[in-house]
Structure formats: structure tokens, C-alpha cells
């Protein structure tokens, strides 16, 4: 416990916040205007990551509460894809009928992240925009090659999860939704048995040029890396029979920089190829 002048005796895991302005826009247009005009705004969606940031020392002066923005909580099963609002909580999105129908593998993966308490409150958008490598939505959306929609005073734009990690998101823009093309999606799996050392998400989709395998690799300490491997002329049943060779070839192209003090690059390549092969061998089960 710690004695804090403004709050009394509080747990050391909690912090006393100074006075702040609570801003509550009613729609996306108003939220964009508020973000543009505020001095130093902090966005509140589900709030789970924000609590962690408070405990890390964040002291916001203006808090922009997005709870009144119904658009951010919508899920649309548009022709050929999904549009998932940035304010959709993990528990809601992973069980939504449109998500389960159009991308069942993604629904199963989404339902496995975090814990029940976090899944009840945390949002897809908050998970992505927190830019914490241990958060898993960014990895899933990277493998699915999702497009993230941002609103700003000049209009709307779409970016990739990799753009978020690279810091290319326009300042004070608002993430409104993630769009996923599902019409050609053949297979999606998420492998987290080696977490925290390594996690990977695998998507196989049919394109005009043939099958395309996309594998996103990350860990609790390394941000996602996407490796695409075209498989022209190959059928899904052939992939299962050639899983080990395909996985070995893909992970041979894992960037040399994918390593940290506890995960060497050679180990990441070897272990990643084993995990990927297991997932590819299960294609026949779908």
C-alpha cells in the first residue's frame, strides 16, 4: 500500500490521476473533430490497456471516450468479406454469426486470445493500436492481410497492420474498422503452443494466380513478420502431402533480424517450420 495525498491509501498497483477533461463524441465525425482539436488526447475504448498505461505512469489531460460510437461496434458480412468495427470486443466478435460463418478459423483463433475478463472488455481496435507485441489481434489480421480503416479530417484511408507498426498512421486519426477479404479464404489457423517464444497465424487463400500461403510470425517480444508464398498449380490436398517441404521453404525466408536474447533465428526457423507443417497437414480436416 502507498499513501497518496489526493486519494489516500491505495494499492501500489494503482495510481492517482490528476484532473482531466472527459470528452464523449456521439459519432465518428465528432470524434475525429475532437481528436484534431484537443491538446493531447488519449482514446478510451475497452480500457484494459489504458489501465496498464496508467500504472506505467500515463497522466492524460484529455480522455476521448468512444463508448457512444455505435459505428465502431458493428460487424458487417458484406459480399466477399467482413467489416469489423474497431470497438468490437473480442468475446463479441469471435462469436458473431457473420465471423463464424465467413472465417471460422479466425473466429476460433480470436476466441483463444487473452482471458475471459479481457475478452469481455478489450476491443479489436484497442488491441491493434496499443502496439504491444504480446497482443495478438495484430498477428491474426496480418496473416489475413486485413485492411485497417482510419478516419481523419481529410477523409478516410486504409492501411495494413504493418503500417501501424511502422508508425505510418496519420497523427490523430481514428481506427474505425478492419476489413477482411474472405471470399477466397480456404484455410486459417493460429498456432500458439510455443508462446511466449513464438506464435504464428496461417492463411491460405485462392487468388487469380493460384493458391497463396501467408504466414505471420511473432512472439511476446518481437512484432509480427509476414511471409507470403505463392503455390501456383497446387491443390489444397497436395499442400497437406507436401507440408514439411512447403514449411521449410517458407521459413528459410524468415528475416535474419527475427531474434532476441531468448530466441535465436536458427531456432525460430526450425521451430516455425515444424509448427507450420503441423497446421498445413491439418488442411484435410477442414
pLDDT digits (tens, 9 = 90+) for 83-98: 999 999 999 999 999 9
Q: The domain spanning residue 81 has which CATH number?
A: 3.30.465.10
- 6 belongs to a structural domain: no
Over the stretch 118-155, which tens digit does the pLDDT of each residue have? 999 999 999 999 999 999 999 999 999 999 999 999 99
- 10 belongs to a structural domain: no
Q: Could you give the number of structural domains in the chain?
A: 2
pLDDT at 7 over 60: no
The whole-model pTM stands at 0.92
- 67 belongs to a structural domain: no
Among candidate residues 152, 183, 214, the one where a domain is terminated: 183
Q: The domain spanning residue 252 has which CATH number?
A: 3.30.390
Among candidate residues 183, 208, 223, the one where a domain is terminated: 183
Q: Are residues 163 and 79 in the same domain?
A: yes
Q: Are residues 223 and 109 in the same domain?
A: no
pLDDT at 9 over 80: no
Over the stretch 226-280, which tens digit does the pLDDT of each residue have? 999 999 999 988 999 999 999 999 999 999 999 999 999 999 999 999 999 999 9
Closest CA to 62 of 48, 46, 45, 44: 44
| 3-state secondary structure (DSSP) of residue 73 | helix
- C-alpha cell of residue 202: 496461417
- 235 belongs to a structural domain: yes
For the beta sheet containing 155-159, the strands, ordered from the edge strand earlier in sequence to the opposite edge, are 75-76, 81-85, 174-181, 147-152, 155-159
| Domain, as residue range, for 201 | 185-285
- 3 belongs to a structural domain: no
Q: How far apart are CA 199 and CA 188, in angstroms?
A: 14
- 229 belongs to a structural domain: yes
Q: Are residues 219 and 173 in the same domain?
A: no
Q: Give the chain's count of helices (H) and strands (E).
A: 12, 14
Among candidate residues 183, 205, 223, the one where a domain is terminated: 183
Amino acid at each position: 500500500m502507498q499513501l497518496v495525498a489526493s486519494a489516500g491509501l491505495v494499492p501500489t498497483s494503482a495510481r492517482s490521476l490528476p484532473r482531466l477533461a472527459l470528452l464523449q463524441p456521439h459519432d465518428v465525425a465528432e470524434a475525429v473533430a475532437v481528436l484534431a482539436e484537443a491538446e493531447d488526447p488519449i482514446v478510451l475504448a475497452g480500457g484494459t490497456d489504458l489501465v496498464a498505461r496508467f500504472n506505467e505512469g500515463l497522466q492524460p489531460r484529455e480522455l476521448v471516450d468512444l463508448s457512444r460510437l455505435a459505428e465502431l461496434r458493428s460487424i458487417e458480412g458484406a459480399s466477399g468479406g467482413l467489416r469489423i468495427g474497431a470497438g468490437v470486443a473480442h468475446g463479441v466478435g469471435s462469436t458473431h454469426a457473420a465471423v463464424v460463418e465467413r472465417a471460422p478459423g479466425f473466429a476460433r483463433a480470436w476466441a483463444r486470445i487473452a482471458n475471459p475478463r479481457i475478452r469481455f472488455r478489450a476491443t479489436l481496435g484497442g488491441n491493434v493500436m496499443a502496439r504491444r507485441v504480446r497482443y495478438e489481434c495484430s498477428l491474426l489480421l496480418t496473416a489475413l492481410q486485413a485492411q485497417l480503416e482510419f478516419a481523419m479530417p481529410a477523409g478516410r484511408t486504409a492501411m495494413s497492420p504493418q503500417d501501424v507498426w511502422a508508425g505510418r498512421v496519420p497523427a490523430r486519426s481514428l481506427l474505425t474498422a478492419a476489413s477482411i477479404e474472405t471470399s477466397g479464404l480456404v484455410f486459417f489457423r493460429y498456432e500458439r503452443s510455443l508462446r511466449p517464444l513464438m506464435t504464428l497465424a496461417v492463411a491460405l487463400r485462392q487468388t487469380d494466380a493460384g493458391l497463396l500461403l501467408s504466414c505471420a510470425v511473432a512472439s511476446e517480444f518481437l512484432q509480427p513478420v509476414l511471409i507470403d508464398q505463392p503455390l501456383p498449380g497446387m491443390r489444397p490436398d497436395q499442400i497437406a502431402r507436401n507440408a514439411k517441404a512447403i514449411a521449410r521453404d517458407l521459413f528459410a525466408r524468415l528475416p535474419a533480424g527475427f531474434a532476441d536474447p531468448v530466441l535465436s533465428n536458427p531456432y525460430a526457423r526450425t521451430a516455425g517450420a515444424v509448427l507450420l507443417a503441423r497446421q498445413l497437414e491439418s488442411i484435410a480436416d477442414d
